[in-house]
Structure 1
Amino acid sequence: MIDDRTFVIVGAGLAGAKAAETLRSEGFPGRVVLLGEETERPYERPPLSKGMLLGTAERGSVYVHAADWYRRHDVDLRTSTPVRALDRTAREVRLADDSTIGYDRLLLATGAEPRRLPIPGDVTYLRTLQDSDRLAANLHEGARLVIVGAGWIGLEIAAAARERGAAVTVIETAPLPLHRVLGDRLAASFAALHAAHGVVFHFGRQAAEFRPDGVVLDDGTVCPADTVLVAVGVRPRTDLAEAAGLAVDDGVPVDSRLRTNDPFIFAAGDIAAVDNVLLGHRVRVEHWAAAIDTGEAAARAMLGQEVAYDRVPYFFTDQYDLGMEFAGWIPPGTDPELVIRGDLAAREYVAFWHDKGRVLAGMNVNVWDVNESIQDLVRSGVEVDPARMADPGVPLAELTQ
């Protein structure tokens, strides 16, 4: 059967690449155009702050597909091709060279970009493969790295830098790293981990000035640096959607089928604020698993398949000898209780956040092959006795029974 439809994907990151893959694996025979601003073909971002900096990941291992995959699957991948505008009436995307491509269905997977600080100076941000290459070249014995921001990316980079022999200073406005995400007890554990590896923290402080020789804090303290990295989060790249008149809030709101307020346009990845039918909320997640899951779901919805997005948010981190997986979501305004199963001091435990016994999220630290059970527990919605949650003698799989 001839299918002359054209599906255009704007954004050649992980979400866009998985959407293109899904379109072909589901049998779509029409034209697929994948447009990316970067010179690289689609790649995964987690190694940029982990294996690429440590030198344990080969550069070629970060790509989503082999170089010839797009040709073999008849996907028109165009790198170094920014999209300037969307014409929703004509159903066209306008490229930077003023040419246009018509679409029958359009997927926006434009991702996110680092939040910038309004302070002049020569600083580094980590978002692209080239950013990771440049940063890795500066991490060596005797180098001095100052990181502004003690979130997940900042801490991963701090760990990699220390393992490479660099001196690391971290500046954070909060009283502890990851404080807003993890709360006092767990955040203190991450602070102790990094302090034990020689990281110097300045909590409750912010950068006031970037100088060639380092960073001046708001209390006048000078932190010497050869490299300054700013890691204060990202913002969804919604400018294209907003200029086209699509609804934009915290990202691009989409229904459970990943569809925007325009029935011909879908969104996936970091920009997609998805109506998650499991969680009963609209949720935007800036992590690797969400890029895969939303990209695949959006592709199936573009094909007209029944889709009701219900994935449990998931992410992971590696810092020194600590490995962690987190699954779940804590609604804003919720004040859940924390239960620890295992040995927090030894950093071998599972943490549960629950609301009256109903598990909202779980985090396994150096405890493996349990995240599927944690996701089952989140998904079940059953009320569990906190004493059973905390008891390592009760198998996790039995908590849903």
Structure 2
Amino acid sequence: MPCIGHPADRKAVKAKTPEHVVVVGASAAGLSAAEALRRGGYENKLTLIGAEPHLPYDRPPLSKQFLSGEWDQDKVMLRPPAHLADLDVMTRLGTPAVGLNTADRKVALATGDEVAYDHLVVATGVTPRMLPGTPKVRGVHTLRTLEDAQTLQTELESGTRVIVIGAGFLGTEIAAVAANAGVQVTLLSNASAPLAGALGPELGAEVAALHESHGVTIRTRQAAGCVITSDGSKVTGVALKNGEKLQAAVVVVAIGSAPAVRWLDNSGLEIGDGIECAPDSLAAPGIHAAGDVARWRNRLFNLRMRVEHRTNAVDQGIHVAEQILAGTRADYAPVPYFWSDQYDLKLQSYGWLRNHDEVLLTEGSIAEGKFVALFRRDNRVTGVVAARSVKALRRWRELIINKASWSDALDAL
């Protein structure tokens, strides 16, 4: 995705080819940065550090095609094993980074080793949030890693009772896969309907109807204050705040995620909801952040944002690689894109949906399987969500890029 910058904000510096670029995070963002560096002609030392033992793999399919059994492990891998060898990338996998010394430009690893860098790309992503007091027993799951998905997949047997706590995109995707597998699913939402916080109450109600038509039981405004129960060795269900007890053999916690930044304590980097960056994704001299862990001001929307979408991870990884190679500074100002599979319905979105002021359903409905909805913040079109309306998505994306006013959007209908 092209970078949108303002000439006055660009600072030309003398480009100097770094001797060693270190990428922490064997993720989509980390891999994207490494590949872009090599494509751009970088020939010096390049190291990829990852906490997991796997080569980079694709996370979105874990709650969709992989969980359903449609895809196997090989298909979720982003590249074949020979690819990184062809890139001439030194890999340190299964080796978490545990500290960063910005003065000496060194990354500390869990093995006790230190890796020196000239430029550092941080792409460590996020970690799942857990409910306070969650027992460490069989049958309690989060879904972030390949191992998480493999373990959960083995427990989604027909007739099993499953409770999914959290009705955001991850929770609803898991519920959809489980329901299609013949599992008895109860979905606990903290809002008036699943996805109501992201899509608004009207579309949220339609999402609820879609899930209920597939046999999912939805309990609204029940996720907050619930407690997971167990017999000491395995999960037994969930106790709601009102005292009601729901039985289940499997409980999946999908209440959001937190940036994986604990290893950066005492590093001197500014940490808030992620690594706080300049508009060009620079966190400090020689340090760049990309993907789910990065928070920066997107000048297209005039908002600080942290985007947990696969396409942003790839695009921001490319952007920071270009910054390293060019020795210039240019804003990173994309129109975020994401998709979500809910049964046979594929939701697609461009823009920024959070903290919207209004959602306008311009055509169709979720029940019809085809719709378009626009999102307003202040007097601007800031987002669009649609299903089976590719032309409409592209048209509204252009209006978002052009900062179309809400009145202009209504005139364009």
The answer for the alignment partner of 2:229 in structure 1 is: 210
Q: Deviations over 1:86-128 (max 9, x none)?
A: 1111111111121111100011111100011112323211000
Distance 1:215 1:202, change over 3 A: same
Report if the CA contact (8 A) 1:176-1:184 is conserved: yes
Distance 1:110 1:387, change over 3 A: closer
- For residue 313 of structure 1, the aligned residue among 336, 352, 364 is 336
Q: Deviations over 1:259-302 (max 9, x none)?
A: 01x21111111110122232222211111111111111111112
The answer for the alignment partner of 2:375 in structure 1 is: 353
Deviation of 1:62 (Å): 1.2
- For residue 131 of structure 1, the aligned residue among 132, 135, 148 is 148
SS at match of 1:158: helix
Percent of aligned positions with the same letter in both sequences?
Answer: 36
- For residue 329 of structure 1, the aligned residue among 325, 328, 352 is 352
- For residue 69 of structure 1, the aligned residue among 70, 83, 91 is 83
SS at match of 2:272: coil
Structure 2: runs of 5 or more not aligned = 1-15
Distance 1:361 1:315 in 2: 11
Distance 2:18 2:319 in 1: 22
Q: Which moved more, 1:291-300 or 1:207-216?
A: 207-216
The answer for the alignment partner of 1:169 in structure 2 is: 186
Structure 1: runs of 5 or more not aligned = 391-401
The answer for the alignment partner of 1:399 in structure 2 is: none
Distance 1:281 1:352, change over 3 A: same
Distance 1:13 1:355, change over 3 A: closer
Distance 1:355 1:146, change over 3 A: closer
The answer for the alignment partner of 1:38 in structure 2 is: 52
The answer for the alignment partner of 2:385 in structure 1 is: 363
Q: Which moved more, 1:302-311 or 1:238-247?
A: 302-311
2:256 paired with 1:256:
no
SS at match of 2:394: helix
Deviation of 1:160 (Å): 0.4
The answer for the alignment partner of 1:395 in structure 2 is: none
Report if the CA contact (8 A) 1:42-1:63 is conserved: yes
2:96 paired with 1:82:
yes
Distance 1:99 1:326, change over 3 A: same
SS at match of 1:135: helix
Distance 1:356 1:111 in 2: 30
Amino acid at match of 1:359: V
Kindly report structure 1 stretches of 4+ aligned residues shifted beyond 3 Å. Answer: 355-358, 383-390
The answer for the alignment partner of 1:232 in structure 2 is: 255
Amino acid at match of 2:244: T
Distance 1:339 1:172 in 2: 23
Q: Deviations over 1:338-387 (max 9, x none)?
A: 24223454131110113576321000123234433221121111235455
Report if the CA contact (8 A) 2:347-2:387 is conserved: yes
Distance 2:293 2:301 in 1: 18
Deviation of 1:189 (Å): 0.5
The answer for the alignment partner of 2:71 in structure 1 is: 57
SS at match of 2:314: helix
Indicate the RMSD between aligned Cα atoms, in angstroms.
Answer: 1.9
The answer for the alignment partner of 2:110 in structure 1 is: 96
The answer for the alignment partner of 2:8 in structure 1 is: none
SS at match of 1:85: strand
Report if the CA contact (8 A) 1:145-1:166 is conserved: yes
SS at match of 1:22: helix
Report if the CA contact (8 A) 2:291-2:317 is conserved: yes
SS at match of 2:346: strand
Report if the CA contact (8 A) 1:171-1:202 is conserved: yes
Distance 1:369 1:15 in 2: 28
Distance 1:247 1:340 in 2: 41
2:168 paired with 1:146:
no
TM-score after normalising by structure 2: 0.89
SS at match of 1:19: helix
Q: How does 1:279-298 map to 2 (within 5 A)?
A: 279-298=301-320
Report if the CA contact (8 A) 1:339-1:389 is conserved: no
Distance 2:377 2:107 in 1: 46
Distance 1:331 1:135, change over 3 A: closer
Distance 1:357 1:255, change over 3 A: closer
The answer for the alignment partner of 1:221 in structure 2 is: 244
Deviation of 1:388 (Å): 4.5
Q: Which moved more, 1:378-387 or 1:27-36?
A: 378-387
- For residue 214 of structure 2, the aligned residue among 197, 201, 207 is 197
Distance 2:265 2:391 in 1: 42
Distance 2:254 2:295 in 1: 22
Q: Deviations over 1:158-205 (max 9, x none)?
A: 000011111101112222111211111010000000011000011121
The answer for the alignment partner of 1:243 in structure 2 is: 266
Report if the CA contact (8 A) 2:340-2:348 is conserved: yes
Distance 2:295 2:155 in 1: 36
Q: Which moved more, 1:184-193 or 1:378-387?
A: 378-387
